[in-house]
Amino acid sequence: MSEDKKKHIKIEDDKEAEEAKAAEEKAEEAKAAEEPEKEAPAEEAAGEQKEAGEAEAEAKAAEEKSGEDEKAAAEAESERYMRLMAEFQNYKKRAAKEKTDTLQYANEKIVSELLPVLDNFERALATETNDIDGYAKGMQLIFEQLRKALENAGLEEIKAMDESFDPNVHNAVMTANVEDKDDGIITMVLQKGYKLRDKVVRPSMVAVNKK
C-alpha cells in the first residue's frame, strides 16, 4: 500500500474518531440535560410526600387533642353530676331532719305558755284556806290564763248559742221546742266546740229548736 493511501485512510479514521467523539459528547450533554428534568419530578414528589406526611401528623394530633378535650369535658360533666347528686342528698337529709324536728317540737310553744298555768294550779292546790271566795277568784284567774294561752296557740271557740245550726261545726244531740225561736236555731250548748285556726277540733254539742 502506498504512503498516500495510508495517509488517506488515517485521515478518514481520525475524522470518524472525531465524529464519534463529538456524537458521544452530544449524547452526554443530552443525558445531562435530561437528568435535571428527571430529578425535578422526583424532588416534587418527595416534597408532596413530605407535606402529606406533615398534614397527616397534624390531623392525627388534632384528632388526639379533640379526643382529650372530649374526655376532659365528659369527666367535668360527670364530676358536676356527682356534686349535684351529693348536694341533693344533703338537702333531702336536711329537709327530713327539719320535718322530724318540726313534728317532734311542734307543741313546744304552747307547752311553754301552759307551764305558768300548771305552776299556778299546783300552787292553788297546795294552798290551804277557808277563803272560798278568794280561792274561787284565784281559780278564775288561772282559767283565764289557760284560755289566753290556748287562744295564742290559735284555738277559737265555735259560736253556737242562738246561732243557726251548721252541721260543719255543730253536733245536734237533741231537739227542743221553744216558741219564740225559729226552727233550726240552737237553744242549748251542752259542750263547747273549738277550732284550731280554720280546722274544727271539736264540734259544739247542741240542742236544736224544732216546732
pLDDT digits (tens, 9 = 90+) for 7-43: 555 555 566 667 667 767 776 776 665 555 545 555 6
For the stretch 44-80, pLDDT in tens is 666 667 676 676 777 777 777 777 788 888 888 889 9
Reported confidence tier of residue 101, pLDDT bands at 50, 70, 90: confident
For the stretch 166-206, pLDDT in tens is 999 999 999 999 999 999 999 999 999 999 999 999 999 99
Strands 155-157 and 199-202: unpaired
Task: Name the phi and psi angles at 188, rounded to 5.
Answer: -155, 140
Average pLDDT rounded to a whole number, residues 128-150: 92
| 3-state percent breakdown (helix, strand, coil) of the chain, nearest 5 | 65, 15, 20
Q: Record the pTM.
A: 0.52
The one-character DSSP state at 178 is: -
**pLDDT for res 73:** 85
Q: Give, rounded to a whole angstrom, the gap between the first and last alpha carbons of the chain.
A: 185
**pLDDT for res 9:** 54
What whole-number distance in Å separates Cα of residue 157 and Cα of residue 160? Answer: 9
In terms of CATH, what superfamily is 156-211?
Head domain of nucleotide exchange factor GrpE (2.30.22.10)
